[in-house]
Structure 1
Amino acid sequence: MTLPILLDIEASGFGRGSYPIEIGLARGDGSVCAFLIQPQAEWTHWDPKAELLHGISRDRLAREGYPVKEVARWLNDELSEAGIAYSDSWGYDNTWLSLLFHHAGMLPRFRLEALRSLLCDAQLAAWKRTKESLIRERGIQRHRAGEDARLLQLTYLRTREAVAAMRRDTPR
Structure 2
Amino acid sequence: MLPTLLDIEASGFGRGSYPIEVGLARPDGSSCAFLIQPLPEWTHWDPKAELLHGISRARLRREGYPVRQVAQWLNDELSEAGICYSDSWGYDNTWLSLLFHHAGMLPAFRLEALRRLLSERQVALWTRTKETLIEELGIHRHRAGEDARLLQLTYRRTRELAGEA
TM-score calculated relative to the size of structure 1: 0.95
Partner of 1:49: 48
Alignment of structure 1 residues 29-44 onto 2, 5 Å: 29-44=28-43
Please tell me whether residue 71 in structure 1 is matched to residue 70 in structure 2: yes
Letter in 2 for 1:8: D
* Length, aligned pairs only: 165
SS at match of 1:45: coil
SS at match of 2:163: helix
Instruction: Report how far residue 164 of structure 1 moved.
Output: 1.4
Partner of 1:118: 117
Partner of 2:146: 147
Partner of 1:108: 107
Alignment of structure 1 residues 131-170 onto 2, 5 Å: 131-164=130-163
**Root-mean-square deviation over aligned CA pairs:** 1.0
SS at match of 1:164: coil
Instruction: Report how far residue 111 of structure 1 moved.
Output: 0.3
Partner of 2:24: 25
Instruction: Report how far residue 163 of structure 1 moved.
Output: 1.1
Instruction: Report how far residue 151 of structure 1 moved.
Output: 0.2
Instruction: Report how far residue 15 of structure 1 moved.
Output: 1.1
Please tell me whether residue 97 in structure 1 is matched to residue 84 in structure 2: no
Partner of 1:170: none
Letter in 2 for 1:56: I
Instruction: Report how far residue 99 of structure 1 moved.
Output: 0.1
Q: Of the two, which has the highest radius of gyration?
A: 1
Which blocks of at least 5 consecutive residues in structure 1 are unaligned?
A: 168-172
SS at match of 2:80: coil
Letter in 2 for 1:16: R
CA distance in 1 between partners of 2:131 and 2:4 (Å): 20
Structure 1 segments of 4+ aligned residues over 6 angstroms from their partners = none
CA distance in 2 between partners of 1:76 and 1:59 (Å): 27
CA distance in 2 between partners of 1:125 and 1:164 (Å): 13
Which blocks of at least 5 consecutive residues in structure 2 are unaligned?
A: none
CA distance in 2 between partners of 1:69 and 1:137 (Å): 37
